[in-house]
Amino acid sequence: MLVVKKFGGTSVANKERIFNVARRCIDEYKKGNDVVVVLSAMGDTTDDLIEMAKDINPNPPKREMDMLMVTGEQVSVSLMVMAMASLGVPAVSLNAFQVQMHTTKVYGNARLKKIDTERIQTELDNKKIVVVTGFQGVNKYDDATTLGRGGSDTTAVALAAALKADICEIYTDVEGVYTADPRVVKNARKLKEISYDEMLNMATLGAQVLHNRSVEMAKKYGVQLVVRSSLNEAEGTVVKEVAKVEKRVISGVAADKTPSRISLIGLQDTPGIAFKIFNVLAKKNISVDFILQSVGRDGTKDISFTVDENNLQSTLDALNEYKETFTAERIEHEENVAKVSAVGSGMMTDPNITVKIFEALFNEGINVKMISTSEIRITVLIDEKDVDKATKAIHDAFELED
Amino acid sequence: MLVVKKFGGTSVANKERIFNVARRCIDEYKKGNDVVVVLSAMGDTTDDLIEMAKDINPNPPKREMDMLMVTGEQVSVSLMVMAMASLGVPAVSLNAFQVQMHTTKVYGNARLKKIDTERIQTELDNKKIVVVTGFQGVNKYDDATTLGRGGSDTTAVALAAALKADICEIYTDVEGVYTADPRVVKNARKLKEISYDEMLNMATLGAQVLHNRSVEMAKKYGVQLVVRSSLNEAEGTVVKEVAKVEKRVISGVAADKTPSRISLIGLQDTPGIAFKIFNVLAKKNISVDFILQSVGRDGTKDISFTVDENNLQSTLDALNEYKETFTAERIEHEENVAKVSAVGSGMMTDPNITVKIFEALFNEGINVKMISTSEIRITVLIDEKDVDKATKAIHDAFELED
């Protein structure tokens, strides 16, 4: 069996944790399995490197930023192999240049295109544990790139797909995927299984267990994922195509406090306006979400959407630059908003679900600013201060603790 | 004109020094020259990385050690480009994988075999300052290697040779090559020029301005070197094939406190013994120096040589393992010894030189343990405690301050 295991930065933050991970991987290896390990940079390394860079140049070239960042994972993987060697097990570290992890050319937010498997396969054939740098790749210019947030998860899933691994285990500091954030909802329950689509909605909507790109990729290539704890042997949550039905309409409640809302008010009701707006943002590589268009006064229309709060200023700058092209009377924004979503495969077959959610929010006196739905998800935009209350209210309304 | 500039770890140890180096390189660039910069890891980075590794595994695999170490220079080069960018000058950083700096396969002490120039040339053609990681390479297994002590000097000279650079400037914390260590001999004088062979003898013998490998390579490929200060604009010392004659028989006095002496006593006087001994050490990759063979008692012979003190224990282990094969009665060693050398092109044409050196040492009451000479060098092995006294005595005897 070929197993890909991914450990994040906190799991390799110090000597003890590095040895903890080394031992877990060796246990797998000693069962006779082929083991590929994907690691992030140790603890605060990435933040420290960013700080060093910003001290030199507040607006560093993105290419150089990636050249700097990729050293973090290279330190992790070499130290991990040293730990494995001291435990008597042969292992080898590989960076993105050595594996040849081909990505798109965008620095800071590249996407994996193709992973060569030859080098890894050779090392596995030589009975070595192969320890690979997560989060990074090489673009067509032969320059180092990084994959953006959650990049190491994506590396792990992509490697599992390329190597046709039997399973891809994502180790994290929680025991699996819960019906809601256990820090907020005390009686939140760990799920044994969840489907890719449900997980994808949970991930996109702020349940920070898995990054959405990694779930998308797992779905596309049919990689069976397991989310489990790096701190204990608990079984975790399996993410796969069809999750066992557990007689539930919704699987969980996810919250995301990062969005900011932007509204363009008083747009002319002519074709092409929405295209112009989102084309400008796409060119600046700004992801938008939760797009709503509504009828405004006097034959005009309004367009609202959310962006990550880190992109708020650059989004406003870009929009103001083209304000007149867009025919916008004014551009508004709101920072302290949050998304709460109920996710579940069986959702849309039952018209009572939506009602139940709004009832729960109404009972708590929570004002809903925007609403968005998909086949398996209902999301509301509310004040950030109401997030925990809303999460608990929805969790209780559907008795997810059972 | 194409200029290669090399800066060591202390020259890039913090933000201010990074900007200092960036400005010097930009000055050169603004003269219309092509500029390639070679950097070492910042300040104590290399030591910190070694410490991290040893904490995980006191005897880490050498391949992984190199994988870890090479991150140090990658941090330097990316930060340097960020500094240059903030000063408005286009630059690009490249690591050994990107340049394709081919080395032999030995981890920790690889030798450069061939440097591809295509990528660097392309970047220079695009009018960028090219900032390259020193000290590192890639071997035939596509694994990271390091070049050992003084490796960044070697990288700079090899790049200068491969790119047919007009000059290769080695920036250091001294102003050039002196007739003796200015910290020891107060009236030591800076040389304007020195020949490769003289420099080679000075370097090999402990004048730590330039590493011998880099001088050997400069001589082989006719690369004109300049040793100068990173702290001021002083002119430095030019190292080239034929140095201007300055009516001097010796150019300088060099000292080296790192050697330890080993003696194999009572060897049978049969052919092949020396071969056996040095073959064992060569296989362990231990460099020896200062080899002397003398007639012992009762038809036996003794062989003495020096090794770097860091290799003393491994040398003794290797020798003791084969002690009987060597027919050695016993193996002696002495740690607190040092080499002092007088170097000069005109030396051997004047028989009075040797006499003058021994006279100077005798007047100071310094005991000479071993003597070795070449065409342009006389070296004595003495007690480590006498090194400074011996250096001054020889410097004074030849009036090198004039």
- On the question of pLDDT at A246 being above 70, the answer is no
- CB neighbours (10 Å) of residue A351? 7
Render pLDDT for A48-78 as a digit per residue (tens, 0 to 9). 999 999 999 999 999 999 999 999 999 999 9
> Residue A50 class from Cβ within 10 Å (0-12 exposed, 13-18 middle, 19+ buried)?
middle
Asked if pLDDT for residue A312 goes beyond 80, the answer is: yes
Does B243 touch chain A if contact means CB atoms closer than 8 Å? no
In terms of CA atoms, which chain B residue is nearest residue A50? B79
Quick one: pLDDT at residue B297? 67
Q: Which residues of B248-285 are buried (b: 16+ CB within 10 A; e: fewer)?
A: bbbbbbbbbebbbbbbbbebeeeeebbeebeebbeeee
Q: Which helix (H) or strand (E) holds B101?
A: strand B101-103
Site from A12, A46, A64 to mutate, B interface, most B CB atoms within 10 angstroms = A64
Predicted TM-score (pTM) of the model is 0.78
Indicate yes or no: CB of B79 within 8 angstroms of CB of A143.
no
How confident is the model at residue A134, as a pLDDT? 97
Predicted pLDDT of residue B319: 92
Q: With CB atoms and an 8 Å threshold, state whether A56 touches B119.
A: no
> Do B85 and A15 lie within an 8 Å CB cutoff?
no
Give the chain A residue whose CA is nearest to the CA of B60. A82
Chain A residues whose beta carbon lies within 8 Å of the beta carbon of residue B63: 92
* Residue B396, beta-bridge partner list: none
Give B-chain residues touching A74 at CB under 8 angstroms: 67-68, 70-71
* Residue B70 near chain A (CB below 8 Å): yes
pLDDT of residue A105: 94
- Search chain A and give the residue with CA nearest B142: A98
Measured in whole angstroms, how far is the alpha carbon of residue B287 from the centre of its chain? 13
Chain A CA closest to residue B65: A78
The percent of residues in chain A predicted with pLDDT above 90, rounded, is: 55
Nearest chain A CA: its distance from B33 CA (Å) = 23
**Ordered structural domains, chain B, with CATH:** 2-172 (3.40.1160.10)
Q: B74 and A71 in contact by Cβ < 8 A?
A: yes
Residues of chain B below pLDDT 70: 203-208, 243-248, 296-297, 346, 348-351
Cβ contacts of B143 on chain A, cutoff 8 Å: 98
Backbone phi, psi, residue B32, to 5°? 95, 10
Q: ∠ CA(A327), CA(A333), CA(A339), 5° rounding? A: 120
Subunit contact B74:A67, Cβ cutoff 8 A? yes
The nearest CA of chain A is from the CA of B56 a distance in Å of 6
What is the distance between the alpha carbons of residues B96 and A6, in angstroms, rounded to a whole number? 27
Region A387-395 average pLDDT: 92
Mutation test of the interface with chain B: which of A56, A62, A81, choosing the one with the most B Cβ atoms within 10 A? A56
Q: Least CB-CB distance to B60: which of A55, A85, A143? A: A85
Give the rounded distance of the alpha carbon of B243 from its chain centre.
20
> DSSP states of A35-88 as a string?
EEEEE---TTHHHHHHHHHHHH-SS--HHHHHHHHHHHHHHHHHHHHHHHHHTT
Contact A64 B81 (CB under 8 A): yes
B338/B352 Cα distance (integer angstroms): 24
> Residue B18: which of A15, A56, A82 has the nearest Cβ?
A56
Mean of per-residue pLDDT scores for chain A: 89
The pLDDT of residue A247 is 57
Where are any strands of DSSP class E within B127-202?
A: 129-133, 136-138, 144-146, 167-172, 193-195
Q: What is the value of ipTM here, to two decimals?
A: 0.76
pLDDT digits (tens, 9 = 90+) for A148-194: 878 999 999 999 999 999 999 999 888 888 888 888 888 888 888 88
Whether residue A245 is predicted with pLDDT greater than 60 in this model: the reply is: no
A65 contacts B56? CB cut-off 8 A: no
Nearest residue, CB atoms, B67 vs list A49, A78, A143: A78
Which one-letter DSSP state was computed for residue A108? T
**Alpha-carbon gap: B52 to the closest alpha carbon of chain A (Å):** 8
Count of helix runs (H) and strand runs (E) in chain A: 12, 20
Q: A16: nearest CA in chain B?
A: B56
3-class secondary structure, A224: coil
Return the closest-CA partner of residue A311 out of A331, A278, A286.
Answer: A286
